[in-house]
């Protein structure tokens, strides 16, 4: 799929303040600093469309981007980041939860895991919660440029093994690097297929 246009629409502090649910939508979630905003920039081929930062906790709102004037990418705040105040963390949790449960045009949520780090409790809690809500996910292993091929293969196996302890089937799994620009084609193809299937 070719990206013809990508524009920032709005930042929302609640699900009901989001743009009208008229376009198919794909959201990005994962622990802070895992690379959500960078991956959105890789997909749309723009350096700074989504704001990135080396300091965790950069994205704090629900950010909508309109792609090819017909579907949305959504950058969500990270979960499980301990350094923000407790009250603000709970507000984020609730905001994200409500968004995921109520957003009727949400086609798929990409759950990002750092390929270098074994999935944490917060990741499994989140994936389990999505399963309980019957909300579709795909898993993305990010920052693959930081690992050698064989290390990446081990990491992938470990994560799949962990997921299979809980699930009978694996969700779609992608490996990406915003640094090396890998995984873009596969992800765009997945989105493209999903748009066609649900039309
Ligand atoms: P929050 O908005 O704080 O939750 O973070 P985020 O998940 O949006 O992460 P972001 O895209 O801001 O990236 C965090 C840091 O990781 C930045 O310093 C990025 O440059 C770096 N980063 C992101 N993706 C990659 C990648 O594929 N490879 C490498 N080496 N670094 C990456
Ligand atoms: Mg971000």
pLDDT (tens digit per residue) in 21-52: 999 999 999 998 999 999 999 999 999 999 88
CA distance 65 to 6: 7
Distance from the CA of 168 to the center of ligand 2, in angstroms? Answer: 31
Strand partners, 10: 64
| Atom nearest to 81 CA in ligand 1 | 4
Phi first, then psi, for residue 35 (nearest 5°) are: 115, 25
The stretches in the chain having pLDDT less than 70 are: 80-92
Q: What is the pLDDT of residue 125?
A: 84
| Atom nearest to 59 CA in ligand 1 | 2
Q: What is the pLDDT of residue 66?
A: 98
β-bridge pairing 25-30 and 62-67: unpaired
Quick one: which ligand is closest to 42's CA?
Answer: 1
Q: Which domains does the chain have, with CATH numbers?
A: 6-194 (3.40.50.300)
45 contacts 99 by C-beta, under 8 angstroms: no
Pick from 28, 33, 126, 143 the residue to mutate for probing ligand 1's pocket: most ligand atoms within 8 Å of its CB: 33
Quick one: which ligand is closest to 176's CA?
Answer: 1
Tokens of 193: 């297929």
Does any ligand 1 atom lie closer than 6 A to the CB of residue 24?
A: no
Q: What is the pLDDT of residue 87?
A: 57
CA distance 81 to 122: 10
Distance from the CA of 191 to the center of ligand 2, in angstroms? Answer: 20
Angle between helices 149-166 and 121-132 (to 10 degrees): 50
Q: What is the pLDDT of residue 7?
A: 97
Quick one: which ligand is closest to 79's CA?
Answer: 1
Does any ligand 1 atom lie closer than 6 A to the CB of residue 142?
A: yes
């Amino acid at each position: 799929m070719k990206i013809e246009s990508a524009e920032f629409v709005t930042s929302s502090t609640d699900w009901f303040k989001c743009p009208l649910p008229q376009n198919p939508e794909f959201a990005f979630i994962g622990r802070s600093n895992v690379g959500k905003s960078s991956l959105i920039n890789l997909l749309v081929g723009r350096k700074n469309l989504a704001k990135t930062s080396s300091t965790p906790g950069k994205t704090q709102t629900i950010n909508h981007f309109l792609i090819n004037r017909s579907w949305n990418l959504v950058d969500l705040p990270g979960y499980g980041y301990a350094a923000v105040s407790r009250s603000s963390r709970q507000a984020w949790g609730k905001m994200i939860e409500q968004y995921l449960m109520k957003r009727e045009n949400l086609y798929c949520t990409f759950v990002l895991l750092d390929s270098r780090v074994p999935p944490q409790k917060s990741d499994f809690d989140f994936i389990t919660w999505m399963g309980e809500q019957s909300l579709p996910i795909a898993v993305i292993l990010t920052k693959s440029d930081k690992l050698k091929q064989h290390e990446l293969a081990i990491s992938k196996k470990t994560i799949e093994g962990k997921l299979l302890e809980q699930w009978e089937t694996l969700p779609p799994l992608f490996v990406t690097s915003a640094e090396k620009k890998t995984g873009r084609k596969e992800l765009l193809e997945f989105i493209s297929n999903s748009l066609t299937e649900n039309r």
